Structure 1
Amino acid sequence: MREPYLLWSETPYAGESGPPRDPVTPSAGSWPLLFLKRQQDGDISTPEGKEVERFLRHPNMIDFERELKVVKKTLNTLTETQKKIAVYYGSGVPTKQWTPVIDRLIDTYNVSPTAAAQIQAYVHGAVNDAMVVTWDLKYKWDVARPNQYDQTLETIICTPRFPTYPSGHAVMSGCAETVLSYFFPREARNLNKVAEDDADSRLFGGVHFPSDNSEGLRLGRTIGKVVINHIKRQPGFDPRMVSHSYKNANLLPEDYRQFIPYDFPPDCSSLVIGEEDSGRKEPLQNLDAPKPFLKN
């Protein structure tokens, strides 16, 4: 039966002549898991057997045509800060902006070497599972991007070369926020701000629908809770071996400038705001390797 939404694998991006033929790691949904489990039928579940895909809405329940109007309105009313957020969180792979957040927390709270290693292991292990789940669902559901619904849509950042639903940035952020908030409960509000900004950045950039982000955050936070339940069952390890006083780790980026700038090579064939519609264009950012700052 035909899905009630456009398929990513069958629809050209804005500015392109045919459907995408260069999917990014389409097999990643079958990669190893650390906390979640893969059932015999291939579905991913919690250790208790609850199917992970039930933690978010099925795309059949989402009106992507209606959500496209929100994407367009957002792009037409962006503030300068929102543009910076789009580029900041879109520069590099989704995990790029969370690595310095973890380091800042460990330094600020003077975490011991052994506890720091445990925290890093749990957070990155959780993120691994979050991204595997995301890729499993992306290619299973094959939902088209905003610029596939509208062949004239120009985005702030270059549109990634894989299906839209759910957002990897949102799922990963919701997961990282949840696990880190368990270790650093006094920083929960700031961690929530980072996660929400990261998810919103995909809408600001024009590369995701609102539901990609809201449902992605919900899925990621659920996976994070699964990991926390695992941590609580581990004997001999105190997961909160950090100061219980609030030290303000100052997690938010200053004017959304990169902690570790990198001059990524340009490579984008879909339409990007401010670029001429001819051949391959220099984008504000590439999928995995964008430029860190907006052009004037």
Structure 2
Amino acid sequence: MTIIAKETYKKTNVNIPGKWEQLSYAGEKRVPTKEEPYASSWPTYFFSRDEQGRFLDPDGNIVAFEIRSPDQGIDFEGKQLSIVKETLDNLTDFQKKVATYWGTGPATKQFTPIIDILITTYNISAPRAARILAAIQGALNDAFVIAWHFKFRWQIPRPNQLDQTLKTFLCTPRHPSYPAGHATIAGCAETVLSYFFEADKERLNELAKQCAISRLYGGVHYPIDLREGLRLGRQIGRIVVEQLKNQYDINLSQIDYPILVSKHPKLPPPPYKQVIPDFGSMKCTSLTIDDD
């Protein structure tokens, strides 16, 4: 059993009045409940940990994750928050559609049909389909674990915590803001899928960026959360891909081969309609635009 070392909180920005767990959401009287606060300690598939809880690559080296520390001049309460407010003040119908599509269900939900369509379009064999699914889902598990590690380490407040009058378009999730989980997942999914389906990497890049920016449209993340989340997710994806590249069958042949000629699969969106129906919706108790 791996023991994860507890990390002491270091105030990361002099402009921030408190940690995420210390501030209520706009319109609420209590501090937010924590969604899976211990997810950063869950088992990983492509990474390991040392006795101090640091993430290791397959060679046992400590991974220096490519994410900017909040104390490196990130002005959350000033510049970053002002961009969120300006975005919400000028939200278009298309941006609302994008925010709703990617924000319905967990961050992995919209990538599930993308994976299935790619497997079907290229007539991937059953064993290879299982390998692709296992690789991507394992990578996404690790991306969530690592994202949660940084979220609860830094405890950066959400936009509607720094501005108690802020009305968001989407419900604000119950975990810290930085980095964005959707962006981290999107960057990881893009990278691993592009390894298997290289011919469609440009389209996968477009989808990853749209998934990330949707969180700004929803008013639940700062732009830096998205940029750094994508960067972190892509690094996680590259580490996973390097492991996959070094796996061979009994004939010492590399198991995977990239799809190099595109069949132009129709990867959603559009249309901005849930491929997998949503059977429930999150009830907001914080302030939202719908409250007007």
TM-score, normalized by length of structure 2? 0.90
Aligned residue runs from structure 1 range 102-113, under 5 A: 102-113=115-126
Equivalent position of 1:260 in the other structure: 276
In the alignment, which residue of structure 2 is the partner of 1:288?
A: none
Query: 1:107-138 deviations in whole A, cap 9, x for unaligned?
Result: 11111111111110111111110000011111
The match for 1:169 is 182
Root-mean-square deviation (CA), in Å?
1.5
Aligned-pair CA distance for 1:53: 5.7
Counterpart pick for 1:178 among 188, 191, 199: 191
Residues 187 and 147 (structure 1 numbering): CA distance in 2 closer, same or farther, change over 3 Å? same
Q: Equivalent residue for 1:150?
A: 163
Alignment of 1:169-208 (within 5 A): 169-208=182-221
Distance 1:77 1:53 in 2: 38
The C-alpha deviation readout for 1:166-187, integer Å capped at 9, x for no partner, is 1110001100100000100010
* Shift in CA distance, 100/42, structure 1 to aligned 2, threshold 3 Å: same
Matches of 1:144 and 1:266 in 2, distance apart? 20
- Asked if structure 1 preserves the Cα contact closer than 8 Å seen for 2:171 and 2:282, the reply is no
Does the CA contact (< 8 Å) of 2:151 and 2:175 recur in 1? yes
Distance in 2 between residues matched to 1:138 and 1:49, nearest whole Å: 24
Match for 2:28 among 3, 9, 16? 16
CA distance in 1, matches of 2:66, 2:166: 31
Alignment correspondent of 2:110: 97
The answer as to whether partners of 1:190 and 1:252 remain within 8 angstroms in 2 is no
Q: How many Å apart are 1:59 and its aligned residue? A: 1.2
Taking only the aligned residue pairs, the percentage that are identical comes to 47
In structure 2, the residue matched to 1:7 is: 19
Cα distance, 1:76–1:36 mapped onto 2, change above 3 Å: same
Question: Which residue is equivalent to 1:239?
Answer: 256
Q: Does the CA contact (< 8 Å) of 2:182 and 2:211 recur in 1?
A: yes
Give the Cα separation in 2 of the matches to 1:223 and 1:266: 29
- CA deviation vs aligned residue, 1:193-224 (integer Å, no higher than 9, x gap): 11000000100000001111100000000000
Contact in 2 for aligned 1:53/1:137 (Cα 8 Å): no
Q: TM-score, normalised by structure 1?
A: 0.89
Structure 1 unaligned residues grouped into runs of 5+: 277-296
1:45 matched residue in structure 2: 56
Task: Please state how far the C-alpha of 1:49 moved relative to its aligned partner.
Answer: 4.9
Unaligned 5+ residue runs, structure 2?
1-9
